[in-house]
């Protein structure tokens, strides 16, 4: 089965392909789609739905989209829906991490969670799958694997950042992996 993943992010695409090897997962570029997908809502779940609905309504294809946010307890859930552009519209991960560490300097409560919503539209029907990974924000960067906030996020039950974990471990415990695994279970049950 072929599914279009509403992304051109090579890291996200690779994760999805590793988690869903039984499906042919194509990026927007692979599918010849060059549209800028809308993200106009104030919640992660609504942005996930908006991207999938846009693709389905315009191209009538089976597709899925995700939207992810990092929610930090001491920052009242920020950066949340603004995670990718926390430090500005340039969407630079290094800048986002630097700003996050600056805002948490001297803060004891470093509890956080990643949350991902995946919206699947297949045969014209919409299905939503949620995944989360709880943990804490480290006071420093560590590791070279992963992307985004991975170098400063330490998952519950671990003593190192997500960027220090192997891909195999990350693909078992991450927020995106959990939501994609739920989607795979749903697809396999059909």
| CATH number of the CATH domain containing 171 | 3.90.950.10
Are 48 and 117 in contact by the 8 Å Cβ rule? The answer is: yes
First-to-last CA distance in the chain? Answer: 12
Are 33 and 56 in contact by the 8 Å Cβ rule? The answer is: no
Q: What pLDDT score was predicted for residue 146? A: 79
Is the pTM higher than 0.85? The answer reads yes
The span from the CA of 123 to the CA of 99, in Å, is: 42
Q: What pLDDT score was predicted for residue 63? A: 97
Domain encompassing residue 30: 2-188
Domain tally for the chain? 1
Backbone angles phi, psi at 33, to 5 degrees: -105, 125
Per-position DSSP letters for 141-152, written without gaps between them: ---SSS-TTGGG
Q: Is 66 a catalytic residue?
A: no
**C-beta contacts of 35-41 below 8 A and 24+ residues apart:** 37/6, 37/65, 39/67, 41/81
Walking along the chain (190 residues) 10 residues at a time, the average pLDDT comes out as 92 88 94 93 96 96 96 97 93 96 97 98 96 97 91 97 93 92 90
Q: What pLDDT score was predicted for residue 154? A: 98
Backbone angles phi, psi at 18, to 5 degrees: -70, -35
Q: What pLDDT score was predicted for residue 164? A: 97
| Catalytic-role residue among 67, 95, 150, 164 | 67
């Amino acid at each position: 089965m072929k599914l279009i993943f509403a992304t051109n992010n090579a890291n996200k695409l690779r994760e999805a392909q590793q988690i869903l090897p039984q499906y042919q997962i194509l990026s927007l570029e692979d599918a010849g789609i060059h549209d800028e997908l809308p993200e106009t809502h104030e919640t992660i779940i609504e942005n996930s739905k908006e991207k999938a609905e846009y693709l389905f309504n315009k191209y009538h294809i089976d597709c899925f989209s995700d939207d992810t946010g990092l929610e930090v307890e001491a920052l009242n859930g920020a950066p949340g829906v603004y995670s990718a552009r926390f430090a500005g519209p340039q969407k630079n991960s290094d800048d986002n991490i630097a700003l996050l560490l600056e805002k948490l300097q001297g803060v004891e409560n470093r509890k956080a969670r990643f949350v991902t919503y995946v919206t699947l539209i297949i045969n014209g029907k919409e299905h939503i799958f949620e995944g989360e990974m709880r943990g804490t924000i480290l006071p420093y960067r560590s590791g070279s694997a992963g992307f985004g906030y991975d170098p400063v996020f330490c998952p519950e039950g671990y003593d190192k950042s997500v960027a220090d974990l192997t891909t195999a471990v990350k693909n078992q415990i991450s927020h995106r992996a959990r939501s994609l695994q739920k989607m795979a279970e749903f697809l396999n049950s059909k």
